[in-house]
Structures are given as structure tokens and as C-alpha cells.
Amino acid sequence: MTAVLALHYQNDVLHEDGKIKVGLREGSTRRAGVIAAARAMIGASRACGVPVVHVRVAYRPDYADLLQNAPIFRNVAASGAVIEDTWGARFHDGLEPLPGEFVVKHARINAFYGSSLNVVLQALGVRRLVVAGVATHSVVETTVRHAVDAGFEVLVNSDACAAGAPEAHDASLASMRLIATVCDGATTLAHLTRKASP
């Protein structure tokens, strides 16, 4: 069984007015393409009956639940980003989960760490993952590495990923090619169609 992991398609991460710029810089020309690729991937998954697991990050208003032991976490707190129950933590328009789809919340970089993600995937009988999200060199790469170590076969949809610096995006994709299949959006959609059944 294949499932799609849609990582951090939230307003603060993806919207032009979002507070996090690690994945897409202000004024990025890639924004519309990433959003379109994510919508196409999620839409195709639903049409093929492939489960979509939406992964989000969110914190308390006082960030007491965020261990700020690294620059990325200190920057999140300093910016006031992804506070639970605010516009910034909500999913971007057109990328929201449908009723019945799984939503997993996490608080670190790797989407598996300290979350229910592995339990959800086991319950669904998933062995293959299509992964995409923002940012390529943070949540996407760390999640892909964990997934591969855990025994999942992984495909990364490069068109539905982004990093603030294009060179960081490209370097991360190159690194992940050692452990996962990295392909464009059209190839991802073809893969979903082929892998829709167990």
C-alpha cells in the first residue's frame, strides 16, 4: 500500500504572508508552482484511493512546548509562527485535509519524531511513501531519511517541495537520491496511478 505524506502545507510556511521563510523566500517565483504541484499530487492521490496523511507543526502561544535547542526552533519562536489555532498554523487554501483523512501533528524537524505518524502508517498497512512538502532540506529530508531507515520505500515529489535557497533545495534532492526515488510532479502522478492498489 502506498500513502502520500503532505508535509507542512500551512499558511505560515507556504503563503506569501507566512512568517516562515526557510522554504519559500518572500516574493519567490516558485510559490505558485509548488502549490499547484501539491494540489495535483493530493488530488491524484484521492482520485486513485491512495491515503493522504497531512503533517503539521504547531505550538502553544508561549512556546512552552518547543525545546529551542537549535537555530530553526529559536527562529520559529522569535517570529511568532505556527501558533496553534491561528491562521498561520492552518492548512493553505486548497491543501486542507478532507473529513476522514489523517492529520499528524509534530513539534520537531523529523515528522516521525514524537508523533503518531508511524502508528498511522502501520494501521493503514503502508510500505511505500510519496513525500513532499516545505522545506526540502528540513522536514522533507529528515522525514525521508527516517522513513527509509524504518523500512519504507520512498519517492520524493521534487515539484511539490521548496527551500528558501534554490541551492539548498537542489543539494537536498541530490542527497536524497542516494536513498529514495526523486522525480518531478508528472512522474509522481504516474507512480500514484500505478501504485494505487496493494
- Is residue 132 assigned to a domain? yes
160: domain CATH number is: 3.40.50.850
> Rounded CA gap, 178 and 36, in Å?
27
- Is residue 38 assigned to a domain? yes
Angle between helices 166-176 and 141-149 (to 10 degrees): 10
Positions in the chain whose pLDDT score sits under 50: 197-198
- Is residue 25 assigned to a domain? no
Please give the pLDDT value at position 196.
Answer: 54
Please give the pLDDT value at position 194.
Answer: 80
pTM of the model: 0.94
- Is residue 75 assigned to a domain? no
* pLDDT tens column, 111-168: 999 999 999 999 999 999 999 999 999 999 999 999 999 999 999 999 999 998 899 9
- Is residue 138 assigned to a domain? yes
| Number of structural domains in the chain | 1
Tell me which residue range forms the domain holding 166: 2-10+32-56+93-194
| CA-closest candidate to residue 105, choices 91, 95, 124, 93 | 91
